[in-house]
Amino acid sequence: MSTTTTTTQTASSAAGTVSLKAAFDTDIHSRYKYTDYLPVYDETTTFPPIEPFEAVHRGLEADKAKPNLFKTGNASVEITRLTPRIGTEIKGLQLSQLTDAQKNELALLVAERGVVVFRDQDFKDIGRKKQKEFGEYFGRLDPVGAHVKDYIEFPNIYLGADNLYRLQQRSAKLTTTGYHSDVSYEHQPPALTVLTLLSVPATGGDTAWVSQVAAYERLSEPIQKLLEGLTAEHDGNPQAESARRDGKFVRREPVKSHHPIVRVHPVTGKKALFVNPGFTKKIVGLKDEESAALLQLLFNHINHSADLQVRVKWDDRTVSIGDNRVTAHTAISDYDVHDPEEGLRHGFRITTLGEQPISVQEAGLAL
DSSP state of 51: P
Return the closest-CA partner of residue 348 out of 98, 99, 132, 93. 132
> Which 3 state secondary structure label does DSSP give 263?
strand
206 tagged catalytic: no
CA–CA dist 26, 136 (Å, integer): 33
349 tagged catalytic: yes
329 tagged catalytic: yes
Q: Are residues 153 and 132 in contact, defined by beta-carbon separation less than 8 angstroms?
A: yes
- Which position among 252, 329, 345, 346 bears the catalytic label? 329
Asked whether the CA dihedral 139, 143, 144, 147 is positive or negative, the reply is positive
Tell me the CA distances in angstroms from 150 to 143, 180, 199, one per residue in order: 12, 27, 20
Helix spans in the chain (H): 26-29, 100-113, 128-137, 165-169, 212-218, 221-228, 237-245, 288-304, 360-363
- Which position among 58, 252, 263, 349 bears the catalytic label? 349
- Which position among 142, 182, 206, 323 bears the catalytic label? 182
CA–CA dist 349, 333 (Å, integer): 17
- Which position among 29, 128, 166, 180 bears the catalytic label? 180
> Which 3 state secondary structure label does DSSP give 56?
coil
Angle (CA) 306 310 314, round 5°: 135
First-to-final CA distance of the chain: 64
Long-range contacts of the stretch 215-219 (C-beta < 8 A, 24+): 215/272, 215/273, 215/298, 215/301, 215/302, 215/305, 215/308, 216/262, 216/271, 216/272, 216/273, 217/271, 218/301, 218/305, 218/308, 219/301
In the chain, DSSP assigns E strands to 4-13, 16-25, 39-42, 78-81, 88-91, 115-118, 147-148, 151-159, 190-199, 207-211, 231-235, 256-260, 262-264, 271-273, 280-283, 309-312, 319-323, 327-331, 345-353, 358-359
| Residues noted as catalytic | 180, 182, 329, 349
